[in-house]
Each structure stands twice: as C-alpha cells, then as structure tokens.
Amino acid sequence: MTRRIAEGTRRRIRRASLWLGRRATPPAAPGDGEAPTRGTTRRGFIQIGAASSVAVVGLSRVLPARAEPEPFFLTITEGDVAMEDGTPVFFRGFRATDAIKDVPSIPGPPIGNTGPGIKGRDVFAGDDVLIMVTNSTPRDHTFLIARVDADDLSPDPAPAEIVKTTTIPANQTCPIKFTAPQAGTYMYRDADRNNRLLGMYGAFIVLPRNAAGQLRPYDPAPDRLEILTELRSQHTWVLSDVDPVLGELARVQRRNGKIDYPLTKITPRYFLINGETGVEATRNEQLTIPVIPLHHEGEPFAGVLIRCINTGVATHALHWHGNHVFPVQRNAVPEGASPKDGKIRAFEKDVVRIKALQTVDVILPAHTGFEAFPPLNDLHPKVAEQHFPMHCHAEMSQTAAGGSYPFGMLTDWHLVNNQQTAIAVRQRLADERRDGQRRVPDDQVQAAIDQRVGNSGHGSGSGSGDGQGQSGSGDGASGGSNGGSGDSSSGSGGKG
C-alpha cells in the first residue's frame, strides 16, 4: 500500500506541468528505418510516442498528386430548425447543394476532413481550394475565412489574418478559389456577426502536408511542439450559441442582408455541439463522441485530436471528466516557445477556455488519469468500457431554453479495452440514436410518468363539497383544486 501511494505521488509530481525542451525535427523519410522512442511517463505523453499497429480507418492519409481542384458545393438558404425542446428557430445558414431538404445545416457542411475516419475530402496545406457557393436568398451575403488574434477578448473580434473573403450576390452562384493556408482548424462564415449567429458558419480543416502520412495537427518545425504520440482519430466540435429572438427578426426581414440588433441584446437560449444538445449529443458517434481503445501500460502513448471551434459570442470553458487534455494549437497557430525562457511547453488542462471566434486543438489521452483509483486495467470490473461526460463549465450553457438542465453544451467520450469493443460501442450508440428519434406513443409516455411519480392511474376518488378534499391512503396521485389525494385504487380526489 505504501509503495502504491509513493508511486502515485511521483506520478502527480511528474504531471504537475508538461514542458518540452526539445524542438521539433522533420519526420524521417520513408525507409530510413528509425524507430520512434517509447516511454511511460505522463510527461512523455506528447513528447514520446509511436505510430500504431492498430488499424483505424482514416489515420494514415496519402497525399494526392496536385491537379485541378474538385469543388466543394455550398448553398446559402434559410428556414426553421427544431431545438431540443421542439421549439422551431429560424436560421440563415449553409447546406450541401445536393441536399434533399432546403433548410440550413447547423453547422454548415464541412470543407475538408473533420473526422473521425474519413468525413469529407482532405485539404492539405498549399492545396488549391475551389468552393462553389450558391446564394438562394434575396439578399447579398459575404463569405469569409480568417484567423483572429488569440489575445482579442472581444465577443466580436476583428480578423487578424484573412485567408479569403468575397461577396455572394443574391440569387447567384460564385466560384471561390484560394490556396489553403498552413495546417490547422478554421471557420468559414458570413463576416456579419448577426448572420454568423443565425447559423452562417462551418468548419474548414487543413491537414499538414509534411506529416509523413500520419494524423497530426500541424507540420513539424523547430519552433513547435514535437508530437509523436499516436493520434487514433480526430473529431471536430463546432460550438454554437442560438438566440431565437434574433431568428424571429430575420424571419420578418428576409431582404435585409444585415439585421440591426446590437450585441448587448443578444441572449442565447440554446448551446450546441455540432448542431446538437442534450441526449442527442451523447449519441452522435458519427461526428462528436470519441470511442478510444485504451492505452495500456508499456504501449506507445495514444490519444485523439479534438478540434474545437467557437462560432458564438460567449466564452466557453470545456471540461473533460476522466482525464485532462493538452492544448497544442490555437487559432491555427501551434504552441510555441515561451518568450520568457525560450522553452516549448504544453500544459495539461482541466478546463479549456475558448473565446468568441477562436479555435483550440487539444489532445485527449486514451487513458484515465494516472492517479485515478482503482486504476483502469485488466483487473478493473468495468475495463471493457468506461464513459465520461464533457460539458461547458459556463453555467448558462449547461441548459436549454433558459433552464432545462442538462440540455446544454455537453457530450461524452468512451474508453474501451480493444478495437472490437469500440466497434460494438459505436453500433450501440447508433442504435440508441435511431431509437431516440422514434416517436413514443402517448400512452407509453403517460405510463412512464405515472411510474416515475407514483401514480396508479385514473380513479374516482371524491372530495367534500366544502372545498376540503378527503385524504386517502396509499400512493395515489394528488387531487386537483383542493381535492384530497386518492388511494391506490381510487386515484385522484375530485374538485371540492
């Protein structure tokens, strides 16, 4: 027992802060045969790792030969999208041009591969990119891809570096062509704040060109963190703030390209991850939820890359249960050397702050915290599957419609013992998602409510004529308007 406590203390000391004095070196060319270094300390999680022998679809990407770019197709549209509580909210947004329904997709269709696996066509740094945007609305809109300054605290920051900007006239189609910037996580959007909040945004993912076919957030360089950890998948989380009042203003001002509604009046009532919230966001294994085979002691360190994009005006604070994360890139700029001593550092974070219009890429380790007890190993009673929540620590964003908890900005992540279990868990989540979209008959809903609150069904209990209902015994439902509570056979008392 003493030995276990001592080892736990050493591990906590090792993980107090993660810093890397090494500078990145370009990856060895194929065939050099240089074996990656291995390690077992928490500090080595990012610094030390190896390519995996586990086959995961979409990890190793082959850089295609340069050719005339195949276009991405987007259409600007508008319409109602139902929120978690059934409330229809009017959005302006993008959809795939070949979509069957003419309503906005929240978020808009991705440009690039958002993961996990292959979710969209890869875009590499330096590629020629062509986007065909059709504006089906009676007003002009802008199309903007830009980075913002990491130090800008404004809820509506101005672009610090513009990748591409153009205007799409009403009822016209425009080709947008540009060269993909350096690898990183970006957002495409309407340049107007209120149009963005109305749903005009989507993810733009650029992969590194010189990562030797491995999944990495950026190209190696001497002034960047060296990431050799095996990244088993990537996920993209688009965070949204939804104000239904702004939507209603847009509904009655269809020809106005900009809605006159000041920032001080913006009051989000719904907070989404990839367009979902509540239970739906905990079942979206296709996009949102990491299901990760567990990293075992002695194996190369492993994790997943999660790209977080804040499209709203509120600052969000993402908090993972089960383990901490390592931010490695902000606003498509890799973590660099400290201006104080020149050392490259990456710190593990319990909460990651993401300000308006900012992006943060984090690595989530494929294990529980090293100090967790009991340790998650073959002796653990639930080693086959563990799942943990992730939610925003900003209290307002944990709710929907101004108070429905927990239907806000939340999701889950799962740790499993092997790849076969991962496949089974993803299938189970898909089945639960499909079942959750079916309408449950009203009598089953009422039966579930009755069971939950102790009702025994309808009855014929009576109340006295003086307004004082007679009290019955048992677990029956309470009577209404001063009626007494009925017993288990007579149900509710009548109105007095």
pLDDT of the residue at 396: 87
Does 76 have pLDDT greater than 50?
A: yes
Does 42 have pLDDT greater than 60?
A: no
In terms of Cα–Cα distance, which of 206, 259, 215 is closest to 233?
Answer: 215
Residue 279, domain extent: 72-436
User: Rounded mean pLDDT of 243-261?
Assistant: 95
Does 276 have pLDDT greater than 50?
A: yes
Instruction: Report yes or no on 483 lying in a domain.
Output: no
Does 488 have pLDDT greater than 50?
A: no
Q: How many domains are there within the chain?
A: 1
User: Rounded mean pLDDT of 142-154?
Assistant: 86
Share of the chain above pLDDT 70, in %: 75
Does 90 have pLDDT greater than 90?
A: yes
Instruction: Report yes or no on 296 lying in a domain.
Output: yes
* Integer Rg of the chain from CA: 26
Does 254 have pLDDT greater than 90?
A: yes
Residues in Cβ contact with 116 at an 8 Å cutoff, skipping those fewer than 6 apart = 58, 233, 234, 235, 287, 290, 304
pLDDT of the residue at 476: 39
Instruction: Report yes or no on 452 lying in a domain.
Output: no
If pLDDT is split at 50, 70 and 90, which confidence band does 62 have? low
Instruction: Report yes or no on 64 lying in a domain.
Output: no
User: Could you tell me the sign of the dihedral formed by the alpha carbons of 27, 28, 31, 35, in that order?
Assistant: negative
**369 in helix, strand or coil?**
coil
Does 489 have pLDDT greater than 70?
A: no
Instruction: Check if the beta carbon of residue 62 is closer than 8 Å to that of residue 30.
Output: no
Q: Is residue 298 exposed (0-12), middle (13-18) or buried (19+ Cβ within 10 Å)?
A: exposed
Least confident range of 33-37, 438-442, 478-482: 33-37
**131 in helix, strand or coil?**
strand
Q: How many CB atoms lie within 10 A of CB 182?
A: 17
User: Rounded mean pLDDT of 375-392?
Assistant: 81
AA identity, residue 225: L
Least confident range of 67-71, 85-89, 183-187, 202-206: 67-71
AA identity, residue 35: A
Query: Can you tell me the distance from the alpha carbon of 332 to that of 335, in angstroms, rounded to the nearest whole number?
Result: 10
In terms of Cα–Cα distance, which of 181, 95, 224, 160 is closest to 358?
Answer: 160
62 phi-psi bin (left φ>0, alpha ψ -120 to 50, beta other): beta
| Helical H segments across 38-192, by residue range | 44-47
Q: What is the pLDDT of residues 295-327, one digit of tens each?
A: 877 777 889 999 999 999 999 999 999 899 999
Instruction: Report yes or no on 465 lying in a domain.
Output: no
**396 in helix, strand or coil?**
helix
Least confident range of 130-134, 197-201, 207-211, 475-479: 475-479
If pLDDT is split at 50, 70 and 90, which confidence band does 123 have? very high
Query: Can you tell me the distance from the alpha carbon of 5 to that of 27, in angstroms, rounded to the nearest whole number?
Result: 39
Does 441 have pLDDT greater than 80?
A: no
If pLDDT is split at 50, 70 and 90, which confidence band does 330 have? very high
pLDDT of the residue at 438: 63
Higher pLDDT, 111 or 120: 111
pLDDT of the residue at 285: 86
If pLDDT is split at 50, 70 and 90, which confidence band does 460 have? very low
Q: Encoding tokens for residue 441?
A: 């008959």
pLDDT of the residue at 1: 43
Q: What is the pLDDT of residues 185-228, one digit of tens each?
A: 999 999 999 999 999 999 999 999 988 888 899 988 888 888 87
386 phi-psi bin (left φ>0, alpha ψ -120 to 50, beta other): beta
AA identity, residue 101: K
Share of the chain above pLDDT 90, in %: 45
CA atoms within 13 A on the CB side of 113: 23
pLDDT of the residue at 152: 75
- CATH number for the domain spanning 244: value is 2.60.40.420
Instruction: Report yes or no on 10 lying in a domain.
Output: no
pLDDT of the residue at 456: 57
- Strand-pair partners of 92: 78
Query: Can you tell me the distance from the alpha carbon of 47 to that of 21, in angstroms, rounded to the nearest whole number?
Result: 10
Least confident range of 13-27, 61-75, 159-173, 251-265: 13-27
User: Rounded mean pLDDT of 465-481?
Assistant: 41
Query: Can you tell me the distance from the alpha carbon of 366 to that of 230, in angstroms, rounded to the nearest whole number?
Result: 10
User: Rounded mean pLDDT of 2-22?
Assistant: 39
Instruction: Report yes or no on 66 lying in a domain.
Output: no
Instruction: Report yes or no on 245 lying in a domain.
Output: yes
Query: Can you tell me the distance from the alpha carbon of 283 to that of 287, in angstroms, rounded to the nearest whole number?
Result: 10
